[in-house]
Amino acid sequence: MLDIKITKTTTPKAKPADESKLGFGKIFTDHMFIMNYTEGQGWHDARIVPYENVSLSPAAMVFHYGQEMFEGLKAYRGANGEPRLFRPDMNAKRTNATNERLCIPQLPEEDFVQAVKAVVKVDEDWIPRAAGTSLYIRPFIIATDDFLGVAPSKTYMFMIILSPSGAYYASGLAPVGIWIEDDYVRAVRGGIGFAKTGGNYAASLAAQVKAHDGGYSQVLWLDGVERKYIEEVGAMNIFFKIDGKVVTPALSGSILPGITRNSVITLCKNWGYEVEERKISVDELIEAQNTGKLEEVFGTGTAAVISPVGTLRYKDDVMTIGSGSIGELSQKLYDTVTGIQNGTVADEFGWTVLV
Ligand code: PLP
Ligand code: COI
C-alpha cells in the first residue's frame, strides 16, 4: 500500500467548454502522480502534485537510449456520474511484462492500480460527460540516471498524467482506411514488439507518414521475417470476420497483447462465435475478399475502442470491406464494450473497477 502525499493546485485550470471538440491527448488535467525509484531503496516518494513541467538532466538516460515504458487506460463516467476503470489490473500486469523486457524494475500491481485510482479521484471532475468521451490515463516510467553509458539506469520516475479525450480518429466511428505496409516492419521475433515502449512507436513513424500521405489513417504491419502475415495496426490489434468466424493474429511475441483484444475475444466466444487466434497471411485476406467471405474488419484498442476498417490497401490492391460502413458485429462489440465501461450494460465478467 502506497503512502501517497497529495498537494493540490491553487490555480485550477478551466475545463474544456465544448466536450465535442476534445480530440485525443491534447488537454491535461490539474494534477499528476509521481513516484521515484532508486536502486537499493526501491519505489519511494509517491505523490500527487499540480501538473507541471519536469526537470531532468540533459544526460538522463531516457533521452539517449529510450529506456522507458508507457500504458494507456481510461476512466469513464457511469450513469450516476461515478468514475469507473476498465480492467486496470491488466495494465498493471502488462507494465511488468514491459518492464522485464526493458530492464526497468518491477512495480507492484496493487501500487499501480492504487496510484491510478488516487490521481483519477483527485481530478475526477475532469472526466467528461459527453457520449464517446472519457479521461485517458497515461502511466509511464522513464530512466533518469545522468549517464551516457549503455546500461540499465539505477533511478527511474513513474508518472501518471490524465487527458480528457474524445475519439482517437477524427472520423469517430466512421470506418478508417488502413495501409498494409510491405516495406518497413515494426517488430521481429526476440525484439520488443510485445512491450509497450516508445521505441516501437518511434520505429512506426516513417510508415505512418507514408500511409497518411497516401490518404490512409494507420499502418497495418506484416511480420518482420516474410512480410506475409498480418500483425497489428499502429495503435490497435486487428480482427477479421471471415465466413462467420472471428479471426485475429495469435500473440506471437511481436504484437501488443491488447486488453481490448482480450475482452473482444471473451465476448465473441461468449456469444457463440468460433474465434481463431492464428497466423493470417495477406494472401488469405485477399482470397477471402475475392470470394466474398471477408465480412468485417475492425481494430481494437483503449484509445481506438472498436474501430471499423472500411478499406485496406495492399500494394496496388484496394479492398473495400463489406458495404464500407460499420459491420453488425463491430457495432455490437462497440455498444457492449462501451456499455460495460460506462455501466449501462451488465458487467458479467467483473471487468469494472470503481475508483
Ligand atoms: N497495439 C498497439 C501497437 C497499441 O498501441 C495498442 C494500444 O494500446 C493496442 C494494440 C491495443 O491495446 P489495448 O487494447 O490494451 O489498448
Ligand atoms: C492506447 O490505446 O492506449 C494507446 O496507447 C494507443 C496510443 C499509442 C495512442
CATH code: domain of residue 209: 3.20.10.10
Mark whether 123 and 180 lie in a shared domain: no
Mark whether 246 and 181 lie in a shared domain: yes
Mutate which of 86, 231, 264, 302 to test ligand 1's pocket (most atoms within 8 Å of Cβ)?
302
C-alpha cell at 275: 474465434
Distance 51 CA to ligand 1 centre (A): 26
Do the domain assignments include residue 220? yes
Mark whether 103 and 190 lie in a shared domain: no
Mark whether 316 and 194 lie in a shared domain: yes
Which range of residues forms the domain containing residue 183?
Answer: 176-343
Q: How far is C-alpha 226 from the chain's CA centre? A: 26
In terms of Cα–Cα distance, which of 74, 265, 48, 89 is closest to 168?
74
Mark whether 199 and 128 lie in a shared domain: no
Mark whether 60 and 194 lie in a shared domain: no
Mark whether 206 and 255 lie in a shared domain: yes
Mark whether 18 and 135 lie in a shared domain: yes
Distance 331 CA to ligand 2 centre (A): 21
Cα angle, residue 321 at apex, residues 319 and 326 outer, rounded to 5°: 150
Q: What φ, ψ does residue 135 adopt, rounded to 5°?
A: -100, 110
CATH number for the domain harbouring residue 85: 3.30.470.10
Domain end call among 122, 139, 165:
165
Is the overall model pTM greater than 0.85, yes or no? Answer: yes
Ligand number with the minimum distance to the CA of 71: 2
Looking at residue 353, what is its pLDDT? 97
Please report the atom of ligand 1 found closest to the CA of residue 90. 15
Distance 301 CA to ligand 2 centre (A): 7
Q: What φ, ψ does residue 334 adopt, rounded to 5°?
A: -60, -50
For the CA atoms of 311, 317, 323, 326, the dihedral, rounded to the nearest 10 degrees, stands at: -20
Mark whether 81 and 189 lie in a shared domain: no
Do the domain assignments include residue 352? no
Please report the atom of ligand 1 found closest to the CA of residue 261. 14
**Within 10 A of 180 (CB to CB), how many other CB atoms are there?**
22
Looking at residue 324, what is its pLDDT? 74
Alpha carbon nearest to ligand 2 atom 3, residue: 72
The domain total for the chain is 2
Alpha carbon nearest to ligand 2 atom 6, residue: 235
Domain end call among 119, 135, 165:
165
Ligand 1 residue neighbourhood (C-beta within 6 Å): 72, 232, 235-237, 256, 258-261, 300-302
Alpha carbon nearest to ligand 2 atom 5, residue: 72
Instruction: Indicate the burial class of 346 (C-beta count within 10 angstroms; 0-12, 13-18, 19 or more).
Output: exposed
The amino acid present at 308, given as its one-letter code, is P
Mark whether 201 and 136 lie in a shared domain: no
Domain end call among 133, 165, 197:
165
Mark whether 239 and 337 lie in a shared domain: yes
Mark whether 230 and 339 lie in a shared domain: yes
pLDDT by position in tens, the chain (length 355): 999 999 999 999 999 999 999 999 999 999 999 999 999 999 999 999 999 999 999 999 999 999 999 999 999 999 889 999 999 999 999 999 999 999 999 999 999 999 999 999 999 999 999 988 999 999 999 999 999 999 999 999 999 999 999 877 766 678 999 999 999 999 998 999 999 999 999 999 999 999 999 999 999 999 999 999 999 999 999 999 999 999 999 998 999 999 999 999 999 999 999 999 999 999 999 999 999 999 999 999 999 899 999 999 999 899 999 887 899 999 999 999 999 999 999 999 999 999 9
Distance 94 CA to ligand 1 centre (A): 11
Does ligand 2 come within 6 angstroms of the Cβ of 256? no
DSSP 175: P
Alpha-helical (H) ranges within 138-241 are 198-202, 205-213
Do the domain assignments include residue 171? no
Do the domain assignments include residue 202? yes
Please report the atom of ligand 1 found closest to the CA of residue 73. 16
Mutate which of 168, 204, 255 to test ligand 2's pocket (most atoms within 8 Å of Cβ)?
168
3-state secondary structure (DSSP) of residue 101: helix
